[in-house]
Each structure stands twice: as C-alpha cells, then as structure tokens.
Amino acid sequence: MANTASNPYADIAKAHVEHKADETKVGSGGDLPADIEHGVAELSDVKISTYQKGNYQGHPFFMAAGIVLDPESVVTTDPASKKQRTIKVKGLRTQIGPLPICDTTNASGEVTPLSEHWSRVLNHLRLLGIDTKTTEPTDIISQNGDKWESGTVLAALKEAAVCFSFRTWQGRATEKYPNPRVNHEWRGLTERPETNPEAEIVDETATEPEPEETGAYSDPEPETVPVQEEPETVQEREPDLIDLAEIADNKGEGHEQAANTIATKAQELGVDYESAENWLEEVEAMIRVSSTPEEAPAEPEPEAPEESYESYDEGPWEPVPGEIGFFNPPKSTEKVQCEFLEIDDGKVKLKRTSDSKVFGGVPVSKVFADNA
C-alpha cells in the first residue's frame, strides 16, 4: 500500500488549501436498513484518531457518527421472502468512516492520494455546518507525539450535537454480490424533530379527553429509553479476522490464504472487497455491515413479527413488544395504529403512533396484528 511521505502534516496543509473552498457533495456509507428517506439524526461523535494496525499504522483517520431521531421505524421488504416487515430504527447509529488521511492503494493497485481523502473529510464537515474556507488544518487535526487527535473545531462540533438529515439506500443485487451493502448519505444540517415532552404521559384527569379516549384504560408511566452504548471495537468483535487481516496486509506466512478467507466472508456479507484500501479496512467494513452496535442481545430478531403473524391462523395470536399493530380505543369502532410496548398477564401497554399517547391495561382482545 502507498504511504504518505516523511512529513504528513505538510501534505495535509497543502491538501487543505486545495480543497477548503470545494463545493459540498453528499457522501455515503453506514449500517442502517435501506429505504429511510428524510431521516434525522443527532451527531454523537466526530473525531480524528490513529490507525493502530495494518498498512496505515500510525496514520490518521476521520470518523463521524449520529443517533437516529426520526423516523421511529421503517417498513422494508425482505429480499428472500418478499414479505414486508416493520423495523424500529430510532436510537440506532449511522456512521461515516473511518476515512484514511494518507495515500492509499486498493487491491487493484489504484492509488488514492491524501489530497482526495482530505477533500472528503472537509466535505463532511461542511455538511455538518463548518465553513472550511475560514479554517486552518490545525483547527481540524493535531499531532501529539506519534498520535493524531481532533482539533478544536471537531471538539466544538461534537459538543454542539447538531442535527443532520440523511437517507439510506441499497444497491442492485448482482450475481457476484447478491446481498449488496446498505449505503448512507448525510445531507446537511436540519432542524431537530418536534417533540412533546408530555406525549409519553397521558393524564386524562387533568385534560378533557377526546371521545374515543374515554374509558377504563389506565395511563402508564413513560417508557424509559435505554442509553445507547458505544460500539465494540473491531478487535473485540472479530479477533480472528483481525489476525488474518494483519497477515494479509503485511504479507506474512500464509498471506494468500488469509486474504482468500476474508474475501470469501466479504462475499457472503455482500461487501465489495475489491474496493477496499487494505484487508484491515475490509474487516472493519464487514463488521459494520454484519451487526448493529446498539443491538441488545435480549431483543427479538427482526423476523419475529413475521413469525408471529404466520402463526396467527394456527392458534391464538399474542402481541410481541416492538411490533406495530392496531387496537380499538374505548367507545370507538375504528382501529388505530400503535406500537406494542409491554405484555403482562393478558394486558398490553401500547403507544399510539399518530401522537405517541401511551395506553396501559389494554386487554389483548382489543389489539390486532397489522395484517388482521
């Protein structure tokens, strides 16, 4: 792989002058399901750090991430079964990078210079509201001994926790890559979604209820949103693939077999290994595609709602937390859409999707699957 010359900061400074006034473009990359349009996320991290392994060891990289605020869920079509299912996406993570800040060479021998990578970094900063025409390289990146760190601009940007719009899409499946990766596009700053702090708590004794809301249903306590944990590192998730990437990148003993093993795994996940800059970067991309960092082990698999619906005709249907369905409010003959939150002793706690109002103690007989 090609590396930057002896004075990387001089090259960064030169690249900054070349690209700080570039026209802003929309980038891509990430982990969320496809088919999200006009999504809104809050910036949770933006940083410069240092590659610890591989051909880029000692060189800096850029990474940014956000937590999805809107929409709460999306309806997607399973490519295998062709069935539609609802996936909750609020609280999941969208990520750009890591983007190397050095000369790189892909598996085909094509060299991408540091200047082009730095241009992409500045473009993402402009999407997040930074005027790169007035910044210096030291505002963005700093060097502390042999480590690269974030400059004051990135530190302030992370603290600001700005909101930005994004979309996700998936490329066309091919014979070579039948399961293409999902791409993200960050599309610039946007307003924070409007929220009603009292939407999760409905006090019907203090306000005059709408006609269909009168009845014996009790108002539950507000749902607690779990704190999103930081994603595990690549080393924690796939130490075996990391070791293979080290062997492949450094041309160690058995490097060809190691590269073939990673390439086979990449094909299974629909990751284009031919576009990777090195094998370690390929492993990182595979891990991002194969798992969502915020996913909790105890939560049901995405296919759980479909399994529940398929068994609907085979026995009594039971709602499952996280499903989108319908229920009949008191004194109303029309069903309204809701999300099932908790099920306990034949009673359901649910949230109406139209206004986030929460109902507790709803009999199971009053709720229905979304295909009922």
Domain ranges of the chain: 8-190, 198-224+315-372
Q: For the residues 79-106, what does the mean pLDDT come to?
A: 86
pLDDT of the residue at 372: 55
Tell me: pLDDT of 220 over 60.
no
Tokens representing 128 are: 């997040």
Side chain identity at 210, as an amino acid letter? Answer: E
If residue 210 lies in a helix (H) or strand (E), which one and from where to where?
A: none
> Which range has highest mean pLDDT (230-244, 309-323, 341-355)?
341-355
Q: For the residues 276-305, what does the mean pLDDT come to?
A: 57
If residue 39 lies in a helix (H) or strand (E), which one and from where to where?
A: strand 39-50
pLDDT of the residue at 280: 72
Collapsing DSSP states into helix, strand and coil, what is residue 277?
Answer: coil
Cα separation, 120 vs 100, whole angstroms = 10
pLDDT of the residue at 191: 93
Collapsing DSSP states into helix, strand and coil, what is residue 65?
Answer: strand
Cα separation, 358 vs 334, whole angstroms = 18
- Distance, C-alpha 113 to centroid of its chain: 28
Cβ proximity of 44 and 51 under 8 Å = no
DSSP 179: S
Look-up: residue for tokens 């996320």?
41
302, 307, 257, 294: which is closest to 279 by C-alpha? Answer: 257
Q: What is the 3-state secondary structure (H, E, C) of 74-129?
A: EEEECCCCCCEEEEECCCCEEEEEEEECCCEECCCCCEECHHHHHHHHHHHHHHCC
Q: What is the residue-wise DSSP string for 143-181? A: EETTEEEE-HHHHHHHHHT-EEEEEEEEPPP-SS-SSPP
pLDDT of the residue at 212: 37
Q: Where are the alpha helices (DSSP H) in the chain?
A: 8-19, 114-127, 137-140, 152-160, 234-237, 239-249, 255-269, 279-290, 304-310
Tell me: pLDDT of 300 over 70.
no
DSSP 213: G
Q: Where are the alpha helices (DSSP H) in 144-233?
A: 152-160
Mutual angle of helices 279-290 and 255-269, in 10-degree steps: 30
Tell me: pLDDT of 48 over 50.
yes
* pLDDT, greater one: 44 or 320: 44
33 upstream amide cis, omega within 30 of 0: no
pLDDT band at 223 (very low <50, low <70, confident <90, very high): very low
pLDDT band at 272 (very low <50, low <70, confident <90, very high): low
Q: For the residues 234-241, what does the mean pLDDT come to?
A: 46
pLDDT band at 370 (very low <50, low <70, confident <90, very high): low
Cα separation, 347 vs 344, whole angstroms = 5
Phi, psi angle pair for 145, to nearest 5°:
65, -120
pLDDT band at 79 (very low <50, low <70, confident <90, very high): low
pLDDT of the residue at 201: 32
Tell me: pLDDT of 162 over 90.
yes
Cα separation, 128 vs 186, whole angstroms = 9
- 249 Cβ contact list (under 8 Å, min separation 6): 1, 54, 55, 278, 279, 280
User: What is the average pLDDT value for the chain, to the nearest integer?
Assistant: 74
pLDDT of the residue at 124: 94
Query: What CATH architecture applies to the domain 198-224+315-372?
Result: Roll (2.30)
* pLDDT, greater one: 17 or 327: 17
Cα separation, 47 vs 280, whole angstroms = 20
| Per-residue CA distances from 78 to 72, 137, 152, 312 (Å) | 19, 45, 44, 19
Cβ proximity of 68 and 89 under 8 Å = yes
- Distance, C-alpha 307 to centroid of its chain: 25
pLDDT of the residue at 102: 94
Side chain identity at 12, as an amino acid letter? Answer: I
Sign of the dihedral defined by the CA atoms of residues 136, 27, 50, 248, in that order: negative
